[in-house]
Every structure is written in structure tokens, then in C-alpha cells.
Structure 1
Amino acid sequence: MKFEDLTRRRLLKIGAKGVVTTTVLGSGVLPPTAALAKPYNGPHTWISPRGTIEVMDDYPYWVAKAMGYFGDLGVETAMEPGPADGTAVVKFLAVEQADIGFPSPGVLSFAVNAGMDLVSVFGSGNLDLFNIAFRKGEGVRYLKELEGKTVLLGSAAWQSICDPMFAAVGVDPSKINYVEAGWPTWTTALASGNGDACLAWEGLRADLTAKGLDFDYWLGMRGSPLPSNSLVVRRADLQDPDRLEFLKKYLKGWAMGSEFADRNPRAAADIVFKALPTTKANYGPRAGTESLMQIHRTFKGSMSNRPGWGAHDIPSWDNFFRILKDIGQSRIDIDVERYVSNEFIAGANSFDRAQVHADADGYELPSDLQEIDMEALETRFYSNVIN
């Protein structure tokens, strides 16, 4: 997808169709003028890039909220699903209908090209969490073999995810035939015999398996050199003392939630289940725990090479932006130091790890989570992976 296909005119046209409304985000959202006219006192809204929050992906938030790791923020924090449109997350940020979002790097680059002054402040996705799914027995180890074939997407905007990932491993994106198969039906379309492969991601892999969609996977976390989704805010908010102070505490909560989940993933899963009962019903204890662990491994990466939770791999991001320019997805050279910041990572990780570990170790698991055989889960963790 070339940048010229994602113009400002198209952005504004999509927004005019009712995408940016308080009926989507809830009646508590401040209008833009009110948000800037007085000291920040909430609410503070995180917006999903996927059209739902009924997933395991956002566990650091739910853990932080349940365990009190957000401290005395003094404002209501909320998570909202937003529309399924892949670029809605940055559009909502740009017009101040959300305060923090979780876009993929490709969608962030779209925002930068469209003139949205946003900054990634917490690199949740240290490794590429995106995968390519194949019908059982039809997978390929080298994605070059997909040239000339059809890849199914849930949203046309997801092409901005696929193109750089393909390019990074030597595939010519222009030789991939993309078909928008719709959310949430694109994976069932693949299972039904449509297309040759589809975009997927860690966390979803466990969910699909639990639902009987038995695919083989090429894992981005093993084969791609690119980063994935991160927490993004408006640059203007970093210049507002009240919002900046809030953000520092907020990111510390995310880091503490990540540390807790690393120590006790079943406890983190239970916290998500309590916050989102429908998610537990959809996943079940085992698949939910496995989904959380899949996502967590892409978020964690190799901590021995990172200064803490949320630290961006700057060379990886710089490489990503260079690839975007090479394939025409970005019409500008994106200055990684301007749009990707590790300024808040030291502060976010300045918490009492011993206390977080004690919290995680002392968490009382319900019987259904206690019964999960973690060794067996580990054994099957990569059983459907081809790279």
C-alpha cells in the first residue's frame, strides 16, 4: 500500500463517517478544547488498534489496575476498543478523542506521513508479534515462496503491517495479492480454502487453536527483524506538565504489570479474566494463559539486551522506517529519534521488583488455573511453528 493511497483527504473522509464520536469512546471523553483548557484531570483513554479489548493482549494494564500499580493518578483510566479500521487508533489520538494508543509501527508511520505529531513512548513490542498463518501442511519456511500468492487480511489497513515485514525478509511486497476478508472472518476464510495464507499474531495463535482453527505458522518473533506495537501519545501532551506527570506514573504501571506477568503468567491471566469475563468464556483458562504467554514473549524479547520493560530497539525501528521509505509506504525519511523515545523507560522501570515478585508469588490462583500443566504448555508452545 503506497502512501498516496493513505492521503490526508482519505483520512478526513473516513473520520467524517462517524468514526470519531463520543458514542464509540464513551460519554466521558473530553472535547479537544476542554482537554487543553485546564489542568489534566481525566478521564484517560487507551484505544485499541484491533476493534476489541476482549483479548489477552493488554494484560499489563489489567494487572496494573487490579494490583494498584497505577498509584494515585487521581483520574479514571479506561480502555476502549475503537473501530476495527486499522488506522483509527492514530486518528483518535490526533483529534484528542483518546489519550494513548497501541498502533503497529506501520500505522505510526502512516500518522507521521499524514502530519500527526505523535511519539512512541513505550516499546511494548520488542519483537515482531505478527505471524503468517497457513492451512495445515501448506506452510512455507521462506516467505519468498508467497510471491504471486494471496494473503488474506482482516482490514485493508493491515497491508501496512505486511509489506514491511515481507520486505525485511527479502519478499517483493508488490508481488503479494492481498484480499480484505473482513474482521473477524479473515481466519475462517483461510480455513475454508480461500487464499494461501493470512496475517495473524501471537496471542491470536493460541485463540485460533483453541477454536479449532488448526494452522501452521511462520513466526515474526523468530523470522522478522522488525519491532511491533507500542504505546503512542501526542507530542503536545509531553509538553503539558500535568499530562507528562500522569504519563510517567502510567507507564510505570505498565512496566510493573509486565514484571508481574513475567513472574506469574497464570495470575496475570486470572486478572484479565476477572476484568473481562467474556474473554475467559471465549478462551478458557489454558488457551487464555497460552495466549498471554505468547504475547508476553514478544513484549519481553531478550531483557539482557534491554534497559527495561518498554525500551525501544532504536536500530530496529530505524531499519523499519528505512524499509518503509524503500517500498514507498512512507514518502518521507522518518527521523527515528523524533518519533520514538526511550526518555521514559528508566523512570517506568524504577519500581520495587522484589515487591512485585512477592505480589505475583502470593497471588491465589483459582482451581482451574492451578490445574494447568505449565510444562505441557511449554512443550506444545511451538508445536505448530514452521520456522
Structure 2
Amino acid sequence: MNATPDPRWTSHVTAPSYSAPVAGRHPVRRSLLGLVSAASLAFLAACGNGDSGSGDEAAASGNGCDELTDVAVQFGWHPNVENMATIVAEQNGYFEDECLNVDILPGGPEVTADAQIVSGNADMGILSSEALANAVINEAPLVGIGVTYQNSPSVIVSLAEAGIEEPADLEGRTFGVSQTDLRVYEPFFASVGVDWDAVEMVDTGADPAALVSGEVDAMSAVSANQPVVLRNQGHEVNEIPLADYDYNRWSGALVVRQDSLEDPERREIIMAMARAIERGLETAVEDPQAAGAIVFDAYASDLGLEEATQLEGAEVWASLTTADERESGLLLIDEAGVESQQEFFDNTGVDVDASAIFDLDASQEAFGD
């Protein structure tokens, strides 16, 4: 099971229940996606439908489809450049080319992506490898078929003036970390020889304001998020990537219900969705700035996000894909990758068999040459 939370922390996150699937999806059109209050997100979570039914009666021009099949992709958070592969695919018509009519469902504090997939509200969701593992531990019938970012975005960020350039420099300092990331850092510090008791932990969540104000000397971060925001505010920062120390938590896993792969018709729909998203990722990696602009114009501007941070963030996310290693199959999961996740799970106390939560055959079918 999962590692026991540090007793110094009082917050508690309850695992989602998978005992009561919700029937009947009512697709949410993109015109509603600008509504990001907790109430609207709760409404989006309540809408749903078990089957992917027939969509538009008229075929999209030139795609050769008699009709489009309705599908939904659930994000873990609000639409931004982290999900540029799916958004570029939607905006460029790649789903329509696969005879699909896609709804992008935003996540948020009131939405649990894994529960949305299990309930049938979404045909596919985007999760981290750790979130997928925890869902499976809680008996969710889910499996990953592809991973967008196989190089971890997790970093320790600090202002350059603090002089924190390696993990050992955190001893005697204050470190801001979220409850979610806490259990990653105790074994991480142990593995790199940092005295856990010599680091003062502060629950800052994800807001870099605590770093700027001096409340903390460093904080856990996502390389395409807090460091980008800080740089755009005029701060010089240092980043320590956890992947440099073999702590490589994947991000952007394409997750589906296992039974979606067991029915031939449903499997082909999932494969078509996967092909569209990989095409979107290939386009985004070829020109991250253009991808960032597409995301900003379509979604992020309505969410109050800054265009400059979206454009720079797209560059960072593109650098975390396998594009430097592969000419194709950017989302393909291989045995070496599964082994890397098993090592991460073992190090962080996640009691799961990595080979059981990633379907290499389905990944090969979707993304192999």
C-alpha cells in the first residue's frame, strides 16, 4: 500500500470510490469550458454517459466518414499547454480525421480524472503514472496505453540568490512541498544522502509566492509551471530535476478502462483517439511556440493564464517528450520505461506491479511502427 503520511501533516485526501458508475454522458461543448468555478467543475463531473454513441450526422468535409463517433477526454486540471497534444489534435481536426467528435473535459479540485474514466463519463483520461498506480491500488479497472512525458517534470526550484544547486544544499533550509509530493521527497532525500530531519518542511501547495516572499528557500515544482512563472516575473531561478537522480515519475499517461480494450469495436475507438493525440503531440513538438499559441487562443486565455508562460511552458513540455530519442512512437511505452516506473514506485512506497498497469501490446498497436 501507499507510504504512511508524515505525522506533521494534518491534511488528508480520500481515495475515490469506484463502486457506483454513473450512466448517461451528456457531452460538454467547448463553449462551456471557460467556466472554471468549483460549482461549474462539479457540474461537469456530474455529466456523463457510458457508451460512445454516433455523433454528427453529416461527415466532416474530406475525412471520408459517414458520421462521427462522440468521445470524451478527461484532463486532470484546466486545459493548458501540459495537454497541448490533445488540444492541438482537437483544434487541427485530427480527431475528425479519425471519424471522432471529441469533447475535452476540464479537471479541477472537484473532478477526479480516474473516477471519470471508471464511471464512463470519459473514454480516456490524462493522469500521472503515480495517479494511475494509486487508482489501480484502489481497485480501479484502468490501464495506461501511452505516456506523453516520459521524462519527469518534477524539479526542486529556488531563487538563484539562495545558492541551492544540489539536494544537499537544502539541509538547514525551509522547503515548500505539497501533501501529494511529500511522500516522494523523504525517500528521495534518503537516496541522495540528505538528512530529512535537517530540512524544515512547509506546506505551501503549488503557489510560488511563498518562494518569492522568502517563506521558503526552495519548493517542489513542475518544470513547465512554477519556474516558468517565476522567470516571467523577472526572477532568476535554479532547478534540480529529480529525474537526474533516477526519480522519474511519468506525466501525461493516456489511461482507459481495461474493458475498453477487450471489445474490438471499443478498442478501435481507443486506438483512433490515441492516433489523433500522438499526431497532435508530433505537431506540438515540431513547433512548440505555435502549439502554445493554439492552446492559449482556444482555452488558456479564457482561464486568465499568461500567453508568455504558455508559450515558454510549451517549449519545456516538448523537451520532456521522447522526441530526442525517437523519430516516431513518441507515446510508445516500452519495457525499459515500465522498469523505470517500477523503480519509482518501489522507491516511493507505491505497492503496485508496473507491468500490470501499462498495456504494452495496446501501446505497440497504437504507436508502434
The normalised TM-score by structure 2 is 0.74
The answer to which of 109-118 and 311-320 deviates more is 311-320
Aligned partner of 2:357 in structure 1 is: 339
1:206, CA displacement in angstroms?
A: 2.1
> Match of 2:14, SS?
helix
Partners of 1:214 and 1:320 in 2: how far apart? 32
SS in 1 for 2:156: strand
In the alignment, which of 229, 236, 253 is matched to residue 276 of structure 2?
Answer: 253
Conserved 8 A contact 1:127-1:220? no
Contact 1:207 1:288 in 2 (8 A): no
Measure how far apart 1:295 and its partner are: 0.5
Structure 1 letter corresponding to 2:345: L
Equivalent residue for 1:48? Answer: 75
Q: CA deviation at 1:21?
A: 9.7
> Are 1:299 and 2:321 counterparts?
yes
1:244 aligned residue (246, 264, 267): 267
SS in 2 for 1:325: helix
1:70 aligns with 2:95: yes
What SS is found at the alignment partner of 1:132? strand
1:194 to 215, 218, 233: 215
Relative to structure 1, is the Cα distance of residues 280 and 108 closer, same or farther in structure 2, using a 3 angstrom cutoff?
closer
Q: Confirm or deny: 8 A CA contact 2:338 2:355 kept in the other structure.
A: no
SS in 1 for 2:221: strand
Q: Between the two proteins, what is the percent identity of the paired residues?
A: 21
Q: Which amino acid aligns with 1:46?
A: V
CA, structure 1 residues 164+122, in 2 after alignment: closer, same or farther (shift >3 Å)?
farther
> For residue 29 of structure 1, what is the aligned residue in structure 2?
48
- What pairs with 1:167-316 in structure 2 (closer than 5 Å)? 169=192, 177-182=200-205, 186-204=207-225, 205-220=227-242, 222-229=244-251, 230-276=253-299, 278=301, 282-284=305-307, 286-300=308-322, 302-304=324-326, 308-316=329-337
In structure 2, relative to structure 1, the CA distance for the partners of 1:139 and 1:61 (3 Å cut) is: farther
CA deviation after TM superposition for structure 1 residue 112, in Å: 2.3
TM-score normalized by the length of structure 1: 0.71
After superposition, the Cα gap between the structure-2 partners of 1:237 and 1:21, relative to the gap in structure 1 and judged at 3 Å, is farther
Q: Distance in 2 between matches of 1:97 and 1:20?
A: 18
Specify the SS of the correspondent of 1:239: coil
The alpha carbon displacement at 1:309 in A equals 1.0
CA distance in 2, matches of 1:297, 1:103: 19
Partner residue, 2:105:
80
2 CA distance for matches of 1:225 and 1:314?
17
| Alpha-carbon RMSD | 3.8
Q: How many residues align?
A: 332
Note the residue ranges of structure 1 that are not aligned, 5 or more in a row.
352-387
Instruction: Indicate the SS of the match to 2:149.
Output: coil
| Separation in structure 1 between the aligned mates of residue 328 and residue 313 of structure 2, nearest angstrom | 25
Corresponding position of 1:372: none
Of the three residues 110, 118, 122, the one matched with 1:94 is: 118
Deviation (angstroms), 1:292: 0.4
| Cα pair distance change 1:44/1:151, threshold 3 Å | farther
